[in-house]
Structure 1
Amino acid sequence: MSDTDQSEMQGMLTRWQTLKTQAEGGDLRMDAEIGQRLATHAEQMHTKLEETLNKALELEHLTGFGNLKSADDLRQKFALKANNGNDSAVKRLKQSMDIVSLMSETYKLAIGKISESDQSAADKLAGLGMGDS
Structure 2
Amino acid sequence: MADGNDPAVTQNASSMEGALAQWQQYKQKAESGEFRMDAQIGDALRGRAQTMLDGLEGVLLVTAKQLGRIGGFGTLPSAEALQAKFENKAVNDSDSAVNQLKKHIDLVTLMRDTYALSIRKLSDTDQANAGQFNNMDV
* TM-score normalised by L of structure 2: 0.89
Distance 2:16 2:24 in 1: 12
Measure how far apart 1:20 and its partner are.
0.5
Q: Which residue of 1 aligns with 2:13?
A: 6
Distance 1:90 1:129 in 2: 61
* TM-score normalised by L of structure 1: 0.93
Measure how far apart 1:86 and its partner are.
2.3
Q: Which residue of 2 aligns with 1:91?
A: 99
RMSD: 1.2
* Higher mean C-alpha deviation, range 64-73 or range 97-106: 64-73
1:51-97 CA-to-partner distances (Å, cap 9, x unmatched) read 21111111000111111222112211111111111220001000000
Structure 2, gaps ≥5 residues long: none
* Higher mean C-alpha deviation, range 117-126 or range 21-30: 117-126
Q: Does 1:102 align with 2:110?
A: yes
Q: Which residue of 2 aligns with 1:123?
A: 131
* Higher mean C-alpha deviation, range 121-130 or range 43-52: 121-130
Q: Count how many residue pairs are aligned between Structure 1 and Structure 2.
A: 130
1:90-125 CA-to-partner distances (Å, cap 9, x unmatched) read 010000000000001100000011101111111111
Q: Which residue of 1 aligns with 2:25?
A: 18
SS of residue matched to 1:45: helix
Q: Does 1:58 align with 2:70?
A: no
Percent identical across equivalent pairs? Answer: 42
* Regions of 4+ moved over 3 Å: none
Distance 1:61 1:23 in 2: 43
Structure 1, gaps ≥5 residues long: none
